[in-house]
């Protein structure tokens, strides 16, 4: 099997980011975005998705976390798209429900070639520590725009904002893992009647 590994470097006036991804990993890697809560959430992606992910970001955190969070989503999405290559043999679709105490989140992924984010999380507060919960949609929007995926996220129940978003990232990791997996029955084929994704 061809190794599905990529490395992306993205430098702007706001952030300097290097991301390395191995889709067929074991959940290893080093995360240093400069935003501890974002590191904690990306750690959910690598551990529950079994993706090896290394991220290093130097961002303009003296302004706020926005550029760093969005640009990490963009660069991680680029790395996934590059690692997926021509997408032959992948399952394409993934879905997962993940609970965390009182919170239950559902995530559905389609590696369709058509970016779209449909996200419904009724957060119970505006901040988790110092982290602005609005930035989660910026992260996922950046990711789907550059990974070329359709992503549906629904927090079905929850009272604790930390639990709401952590259950979301866990469900996202598992759904993404399922969608990226190679299907031995579909080896060498594209999961679309169009013949391309």
pLDDT, one tens digit per residue, over 61-95 is 999 999 999 999 999 999 999 999 999 999 999 99
pLDDT cut 90: percent of the chain above it: 92
In a domain, 25, yes or no: yes
- Residue pLDDT, tens place only, 96-138: 999 999 999 999 999 999 999 999 999 999 999 999 999 999 9
CATH of the domain at 119: 3.30.230.40
- Would you state the pLDDT for residue 114? 97
In this predicted structure, the answer to whether residue 196 has a pLDDT above a threshold of 90 is no
Is 90 exceeded by the pLDDT of residue 41?
A: yes
Inter-residue contact 93 to 178 (CB < 8 Å):
yes
Q: Is residue 193 part of a domain?
A: no
* Per-residue three-class SS string for the chain: CCCCEEEEEEECCCEEEEEEEECCCCCCCCEECCCHHHHHHHHHHHHHHCCEEEEEEEECCCCCCHHHHHHHHHHHHHHHHHHHCCCCCECCEEEEEEEECCEEEEEEEECCCCCEEEEECCCCCCEECCEECCHHHHHHHHHHHHHCCEEEEEEEECCCHHHHHHHHHHHHHHHHHHHHCECHHHCCCCCCCCCCC
Nearest Cα to 104, choosing from 168, 46, 152, 151? 168
pLDDT higher than threshold 70 for residue 186 = yes
Which residue's structure tokens are 């725009």? 145
| Residue percentage of the chain with pLDDT more than 70 | 99
Domain that holds residue 148: 5-186
Q: Which residue has tokens 């629904």?
A: 154
In-domain check, residue 17: yes
Residue 162 in domain? yes
pLDDT of residue 21: 99
pLDDT single digits (tens) 154-173: 999 999 999 999 999 999 99
Mean pLDDT of 129-157: 98
Q: With bands split at pLDDT 50, 70 and 90, how would you rate the model's confidence at 54? A: very high
Residue 88 contacts by C-beta under 8 Å, 6 or more apart in sequence? 187, 188, 189, 190
Whether 197 is covered by a domain: the verdict is no
Q: How confident is the model at residue 1 (pLDDT cuts 50, 70, 90)?
A: low
The structural domain count of the chain equals: 1
The answer to whether position 196 is within a domain reads: no
Residue 40's pLDDT band, with cuts at 50, 70 and 90, is very high
Neighbouring-strand partners of residue 52: 22
Work out the burial of residue 14: count CB atoms within 10 Å of its CB; fewer than 13 is exposed, 13-18 middle, 19 or more buried.
middle
Q: Answer yes or no: is 194 within a domain.
A: no
- Give the list of residues 6+ apart from residue 52 with CB closer than 8 angstroms, or none: 20, 21, 22, 25, 26, 27, 28, 29, 46
What's the pLDDT score for residue 63?
94
Beta pairing partners, 7: 20
Within a domain: 157: yes
């Amino acid at each position: 099997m061809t190794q599905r590994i990529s490395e992306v470097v993205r430098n702007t006036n706001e952030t300097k980011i290097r991301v390395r991804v191995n889709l067929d990993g074991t959940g290893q890697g080093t995360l240093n975005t400069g935003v501890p809560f974002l590191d904690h959430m990306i750690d959910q992606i690598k551990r529950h998705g079994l993706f090896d992910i290394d991220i290093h970001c130097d961002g303009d955190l003296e302004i706020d976390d926005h550029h760093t969070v969005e640009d990490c989503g963009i660069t991680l999405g680029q790395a996934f798209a590059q690692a997926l290559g021509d997408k032959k043999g992948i399952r394409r679709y993934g879905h997962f429900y993940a609970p965390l105490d009182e919170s239950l989140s559902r995530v559905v992924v389609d590696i369709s070639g058509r970016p779209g984010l449909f996200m419904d999380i009724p957060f119970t507060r505006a901040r988790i520590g110092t982290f602005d919960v609005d930035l989660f949609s910026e992260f996922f929007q950046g990711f789907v725009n550059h990974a070329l995926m359709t992503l549906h996220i629904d927090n079905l129940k929850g009272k604790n904002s930390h639990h709401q978003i952590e259950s979301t990232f866990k469900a996202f990791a598992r759904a993404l893992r399922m969608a990226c997996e190679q299907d031995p029955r579909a080896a060498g084929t594209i999961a679309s009647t169009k013949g391309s994704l």
